[in-house]
Amino acid sequence: MDHKIRIVLSVRLFTDEKCFGPGVATLLRKVQELHSLRAAAMDMNMAYSKAWTIMKKAEQELGFRLLNSTTGGRHGGGATLTEEGAKLIEAYDGFCRELQGTADRLYDTYFADF
């Protein structure tokens, strides 16, 4: 067969409803880097209103805040991750990394013939 198959994992967290996945995770990492949800959204070519809605929905489902809004100060309004937000993105990224390692190892067992 001509095509080499590549595997893409997607990890989503649910409480009652979907509450956390690749989109929110990327937003949180960008906020860590850019200290602003607006800048994070812009960097992802996402409307700020959409980023804000995604974040609020995730916080509501999870039952805790992910972002602290900071207003004023030397850099104007911005956002930082709450302690729980930082712990969650760290857990999510660590989990995904280990799982991807397992997927890479399992690949040969299951998909070597394709």
Q: Please report, as ranges, the residues that interact with a second copy according to CB under 8 A.
A: 1-16, 18-20, 61-64, 87-88, 91-92, 94-95, 98-99, 102-103, 106-107, 109-111, 113-114
Distances (CA, A) of 85 to 2, 19, 32, 67, 107: 44, 13, 10, 7, 32
Between residues 2 and 71, which has the closer beta carbon with respect to a second copy? Answer: 2
Minimum distance from residue 34 beta carbon to a second copy (Å): 25
Minimum distance from residue 61 beta carbon to a second copy (Å): 7
CA 36 to chain centre: 15
CA 17 – CA 28 distance, rounded (Å): 19
Minimum distance from residue 49 beta carbon to a second copy (Å): 26
Between residues 22 and 77, which has the closer beta carbon with respect to a second copy? Answer: 22
Between residues 6 and 74, which has the closer beta carbon with respect to a second copy? Answer: 6
Which amino acid is present at 13? Answer: L
Q: State residue 94 phi and psi, 5-degree precision.
A: -65, -45
3-state secondary structure of 103: helix
Between residues 10 and 71, which has the closer beta carbon with respect to a second copy? Answer: 10
